Structure 1
């Protein structure tokens, strides 16, 4: 039986990262409290994990709830105001871990890979990356605050509202014989398995410090990602590519569609904390596939579809570019016939 001799509090504990982190910390011997703004169906409570309702707009109540914990994990900190709240935890908690994003890195001209020391976006911008960057600066400037800031790529894992890998998973489920990818299939854009984000959180909790760490999967090309998904699913499909961006009808579209590679350096996490992935990339894919296939099947049984399971995919890219099967078939037929398009 696990003895829960340390206490953890996760703000946003019933979200994708929160669920994975709760399981990882409970397994490591923490009594875990999931903080949520309102009760949510399906919030897991077992094995040292409980849920409480807390409104982060009430700063005093929030800080009182967090006081004395060995580790506080904030998965939903976005703004300088959130930074002001968390800065008040100096001297009140053992370790603070805050989820940020690689979108804070200043472009263009990104190196490959991007180290944590690369400059972040300017202070006078007013968007999601700028808010995260300002939050980071506020926390790192707070004396005596043992805050680990984790910059993630695009998250994947169970219980998310977005899963870029669905682009290939659905094709395998539909038994498609081929997929067509723009940018010669060479695009690289960082992804982060939530199980491995949770593992890095565990390591940060045990070794408090003020630090910034990247957390991302191996930097595979989009064609390599597709091949790995098809292999895990036991599906054979030809990966066909063409140069340049995707086309207006969706031909060649994929969520990693960038002309230059974006890769996060992972040397610091390995060197400072001995980070190693808790799950392999293929095992992370198996978790994605199992959960996504079941969630979409349930949505379809209720008269919905994958768009209801992954609304953030639709919000980012629209509904019409994802699975242009007729255009793919025509393109592949034309390529086989030697027709230039």
Structure 2
């Protein structure tokens, strides 16, 4: 029995958000159950937590497992079918928190920053943004459902299969003396540390309500992100920028490469719940580095590389644009710099 006698169930409990949330809730006195379709042998449960194997395709078994918990967190809901499952929890759980994405916001013409009231996409499609937007609509239309929908940026933190900050981290490890960034280094795209998602989930559990909240890091430019990452790693590098998009040989590429600035307004979480980050941006970067570097070195020792640790990076952008050092060297040595 925990101090407070509260219970939480995390769907997708061994994933990136699930692990961080389990640790935060266990520290707050929750008895935590981690649900996963396939149990991962490398998943270490926080003290007092337990694993259960459950397939969400079996709706009745899922609802039985969730029934009566003070807090249910769903990190792997992606479509209106999942929303319909969760809608049946109205009156059966204390608080429900569902992870969504800022990808639901309707573009182009996004305001800076984007408030939670900005319209979401409504197209009939089966892609990730459309699925998340439809999921949200089902949940928010359900009477008596205390659901907090959290719209995140690109996640970073331990145990993820995608870490955009690797673009900077590897350059620091390789002791590159400079980095070349397209679009004058001014692109802004929201990132979100999973430790801070876990903090906001905890607050939502303490104050159940139907709401939508953005959750994102400081809205830095890509050049500022480069500088902060290098500083955290004790690396000095010249940040070189040029106007216009990245080039076919990868020169100037970066994963924050967007045509318009994307910045989330996070004031609502602070005003309604008193949210403040559990980790500063620099401390979150340190956590990224402390997990990613040993993970990549272990992959290299096994005959692989960073692509095996972060396969989603390769899937999103391809394998060839990440570290075009020869193109950077030629550009810096050329007369048109």
TM category (shorter chain) comes to over 0.9
- Superimposed CA distance per residue, residues 72-97 of structure 1 (whole angstroms, 9 cap, x where no aligned partner): 00000001100010000000000000
CA distance in 2, matches of 1:205, 1:145: 13
Ranges in structure 2 where 5+ consecutive residues have no aligned partner: none
RMSD of aligned alpha carbons: 1.1
Q: Secondary structure at the match of 2:323?
A: coil
- Superimposed CA distance per residue, residues 197-226 of structure 1 (whole angstroms, 9 cap, x where no aligned partner): 000000000000000000000000000000
CA distance in 1, matches of 2:95, 2:215: 18
Match of 1:340 in 2: 336
1:42 has 2:38 as partner: no
1:147 has 2:143 as partner: no
1:288 has 2:288 as partner: yes
CA distance in 1, matches of 2:166, 2:39: 29
Match of 2:164 in 1: 164
Match of 1:309 in 2: 309
Ranges in structure 1 where 5+ consecutive residues have no aligned partner: none
Match of 2:54 in 1: 54
CA distance in 2, matches of 1:20, 1:304: 27
The normalised TM-score by structure 1 is 0.97
**Distance verdict in 2 for CA 1:2–1:330, change over 3 Å:** farther
Match of 1:6 in 2: 6
Match of 1:173 in 2: 173
Match of 1:21 in 2: 21
Q: Secondary structure at the match of 2:68?
A: coil
Match of 2:193 in 1: 193
The within-5 A match list for 1:1-150 is 3=3, 5-150=5-150
**More displaced 10-residue stretch of structure 1: 207-216 or 46-55:** 46-55
CA distance in 2, matches of 1:165, 1:46: 26
CA distance in 2, matches of 1:14, 1:216: 22
Q: Secondary structure at the match of 1:228?
A: helix
Q: Shift of residue 127 of structure 1?
A: 1.4
CA distance in 2, matches of 1:173, 1:123: 43
Q: Shift of residue 332 of structure 1?
A: 1.1
CA distance in 1, matches of 2:88, 2:193: 30
- Superimposed CA distance per residue, residues 40-96 of structure 1 (whole angstroms, 9 cap, x where no aligned partner): 112223422110000100000000000000000000000110001000000000000
Contact 1:44 1:50 in 2 (8 A): no
**Distance verdict in 2 for CA 1:112–1:145, change over 3 Å:** same
**More displaced 10-residue stretch of structure 1: 44-53 or 294-303:** 44-53
Q: Shift of residue 123 of structure 1?
A: 4.0
